[in-house]
């Protein structure tokens, strides 16, 4: 078996295992994120297999409820702050990263892409940005401005991050939901960068 075959086999088997962890309604989304992440990785010279693996696992704990999330946080000594207690759906990024590492043996770069896929953060790695954006613009997503975001993501990753974070902050504010501090910091960071580039 060539090494390309081995990677292919590993990715196929990882995909099978990852999909088993999802609610059936989330399968199309995760496959869409994989497709978008691989295309972005190819565009920016990132490792396509790492992007595929991070995409497959990015929502691997999403089906767990708040108590199960908190139990995982206790089991793995993951710190939980008051913002996350108010918005427990944020926790799947942290618990997903730990499961990717502990159960699937994923490297640090894949785990950190999972860790930051929900909120973003300042100064993200290229793979973190690719997974954040792929999650938002995968083919099943439909919201005002998604086509512009898709086009921008293939032109300029940082400008696309600024746009994506802006739309996520605005949508949270419109729904009178809490904007988590990491999201705000990421939004400020990427808005500043794209202003400087203009
Ligand atoms: Fe997610
Ligand atoms: Fe997702």
pLDDT in tens, 64-119: 999 999 999 999 999 999 989 988 999 999 999 999 999 999 999 999 999 999 99
Residue 59 CA, ligand 2 centroid: distance in Å: 5
- What's the pLDDT at 1? 45
Report CA(45)–ligand 2 centroid distance (Å).
23
Q: From CA 7, how far away is CA 198, in angstroms rounded? A: 41
CATH code of the domain occupying 3-197: 1.10.3210.10
Do 52 and 145 contact (CB within 8 A), yes or no?
no
Give the number of the ligand closest to the Cα of residue 55.
2
How much is the mean pLDDT over the chain?
94
The bound ligand whose nearest atom lies closest to the alpha carbon of 95 is 1
Checking 151-154 for CB contacts under 8 A at 24+ apart, the result is 153/40, 154/39, 154/40, 154/43
pLDDT for residue 126 is more than 50: yes
The full set of domain ranges for the chain reads 3-197
Q: Is this prediction's pTM over 0.85? A: yes
Conformational region of residue 28, where left means phi above 0, alpha means psi within -120 to 50, and beta covers everything else: alpha
Distance 19 CA to ligand 2 centre (A): 13
H or E stretch covering 140: none
The pLDDT value recorded for residue 4 is 52
pLDDT of amino acid 197 = 74
């Amino acid at each position: 078996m060539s090494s390309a075959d081995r990677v292919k086999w590993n990715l196929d088997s990882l995909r099978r295992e990852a999909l088993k962890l999802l609610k059936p309604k989330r399968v199309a989304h995760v496959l869409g994120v994989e497709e978008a992440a691989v295309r972005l990785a190819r565009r920016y010279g990132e490792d396509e297999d790492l992007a595929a693996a991070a995409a497959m696992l990015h929502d691997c704990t999403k089906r767990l409820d708040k108590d199960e999330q908190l139990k995982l946080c206790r089991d793995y000594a993951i710190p939980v702050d008051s913002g996350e207690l108010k918005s427990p759906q944020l926790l799947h990024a942290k618990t997903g990263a730990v499961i990717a590492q502990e159960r699937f043996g994923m490297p640090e770069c894949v785990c950190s892409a999972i860790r930051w896929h929900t909120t973003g953060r300042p100064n993200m790695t290229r793979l973190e940005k690719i997974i954040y954006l792929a999650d938002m613009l995968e083919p099943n997503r439909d919201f005002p401005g998604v086509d512009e975001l898709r086009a921008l993501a293939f032109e300029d990753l940082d400008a696309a991050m600024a746009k994506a974070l802006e739309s996520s902050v605005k949508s949270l504010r419109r729904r009178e939901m809490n904007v988590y501090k990491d999201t705000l910091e990421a939004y400020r960071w990427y808005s500043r960068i794209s202003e400087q580039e203009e």
